[in-house]
Chain A
């Protein structure tokens, strides 16, 4: 039973088809990777699925319900969270506050109570803060909690985005290049984190260029090329697919994938 299912997504920018007839689905506990050369439409697909863009055609289902065209906040309320390729952290807030924002949907939010900061607000704040702190520990940012998010380095920002997305306790997590700009140790931490999260029953969709990471942790892989689906299958199937080898991996990529 798939948690997230996208069918025949099509989106064109001024005549250029950025995504053309792409479908995928992902089940609870499954890690699906979407790979492809630059400009293949991976991030655009994420933007459609997460409601940032509206697709021209196609259908998105979340937990069996049609959510096509819903805005991001409504999708988030139904259990879809994501991170961004080019960082979208809240620079002027602390690291902890960033994750607290991630828990927005788990909080009761009443303007008047907040203006007067009623005792219930203070209580809830404490609970949110504790939950956010736990989430930060989980991604290894516990010691940076009170730093300004804008002062973090790139790799830490990537992990902060994951923590923020997880803080919402989503059903589906879309990760856009979570390991970009991370060193080997950080990449390993992230891959462990992703596996752990999936083991807890989340459906994870991953866009990533680090082939070793992708081959190692993915249950299934979808390969895009110029907006169209090129292949779909297990890491082994994709690795052995001659079309993929020719169009995307090339000799160098194939070698690296073989080592993984």
Chain B
């Protein structure tokens, strides 16, 4: 039982981070049809900027705030400098552009910071909490709680605010949204900025547990992408579910099956799901019009 809870908690913690990355993917994808492979770099930036600001003596909360702001700036620059000028390019071209951005950001982080692994102090100490016999790091609750809060805020934003509704309208039909007077550029700017902030927060929350370095972004992006696909691209709730599901599968898979192939679980799952259910677990079926 205690073992089970242990795996459950670590799965939820990792899954929460995947969920945030997947949420960022989904946000950008619904607004712009772009699959942003640089999404993982926002997580990296969140962690790394906080670490280096804290090292300069900036108090942790302020450092975290600066990190989020920095990630948002990068996200906006990515949109303005790379995505907006290539409007109308093919999906593959756009994918390559964002992969290029990911390589660029990783390279920049390597130059600006260093190639070492870094840790942040846990927000509320390192004394494990006993939960049904399992020793759970308090930081896990921060990660899970933080993710839940972000999901809730995003939900309220989408449902209750005009901008959120504009985003959903743009996702449903870009041309129609523009025709009814929605500024789709604003919506896309918002999506890129928002996804960067979400990623960065995820990075800050999880760094005390998983450590961070300049190159953590790639694998996170791939797994976040897998999670988003699992939930059905373009479905925020599906993305969150996909992320958590993926985290749990990894955690239980590593615990009960094989830890050497832990990183493979995500890709096996994604292959199986895609082949069995090509629209993802929570996606809608669509009819091709000819």
User: Are any A and B Cβ atoms less than 8 Å apart in their complex?
Assistant: yes
Question: Is B287 in contact with A84, judged by CB distance below 8 angstroms?
Answer: no
Contact residues of B: prevailing secondary structure: loop
In the assembled complex, which residues on chain A have CB atoms less than 8 Å from the CB atom of B290? 47, 52, 84, 86, 88
In the complex, what residue of chain B is closest to A47 when comparing beta carbons? B290
The CA of A88 and the CA of B287, in the complex, are separated in Å by 17
The CA of A46 and the CA of B290, in the complex, are separated in Å by 10
In the assembled complex, which residues on chain B have CB atoms less than 8 Å from the CB atom of A13? 287
In the assembled complex, which residues on chain A have CB atoms less than 8 Å from the CB atom of B287? 13, 53
Chain B residues within 8 Å of chain A by Cβ, number? 2
In the complex, what residue of chain A is closest to B287 when comparing beta carbons? A13
CB distance from B181 to the nearest CB of A (A): 28
In the assembled complex, which residues on chain B have CB atoms less than 8 Å from the CB atom of A53? 287
The CA of A52 and the CA of B290, in the complex, are separated in Å by 9
CB distance from A54 to the nearest CB of B (A): 11
The CA of A62 and the CA of B287, in the complex, are separated in Å by 25
In the assembled complex, which residues on chain B have CB atoms less than 8 Å from the CB atom of A86? 290
Question: From residue 155 to 196 of chain B, which have CB atoms closer than 8 A to chain A?
Answer: none
In the complex, what residue of chain B is closest to A50 when comparing beta carbons? B290
The CA of A88 and the CA of B288, in the complex, are separated in Å by 13
CB distance from B90 to the nearest CB of A (A): 13
In the complex, what residue of chain A is closest to B288 when comparing beta carbons? A52
In the assembled complex, which residues on chain B have CB atoms less than 8 Å from the CB atom of A84? 290
CB distance from A80 to the nearest CB of B (A): 15
The CA of A84 and the CA of B290, in the complex, are separated in Å by 7
In the complex, what residue of chain B is closest to A176 when comparing beta carbons? B290
The CA of A13 and the CA of B284, in the complex, are separated in Å by 13
CB distance from A191 to the nearest CB of B (A): 24
CB distance from A182 to the nearest CB of B (A): 20
In the assembled complex, which residues on chain B have CB atoms less than 8 Å from the CB atom of A52? 290
The CA of A168 and the CA of B20, in the complex, are separated in Å by 52
- What is B's interface to A at a CB cutoff of 8 Å? 287, 290
- What is A's interface to B at a CB cutoff of 8 Å? 13, 47, 52-53, 84, 86, 88
Q: List 7 A-B contacts (CB under 8 A).
A: A13-B287, A47-B290, A52-B290, A53-B287, A84-B290, A86-B290, A88-B290
In the A-B complex, the 5 residue pairs with the closest CB atoms:
A52-B290, A84-B290, A13-B287, A47-B290, A88-B290
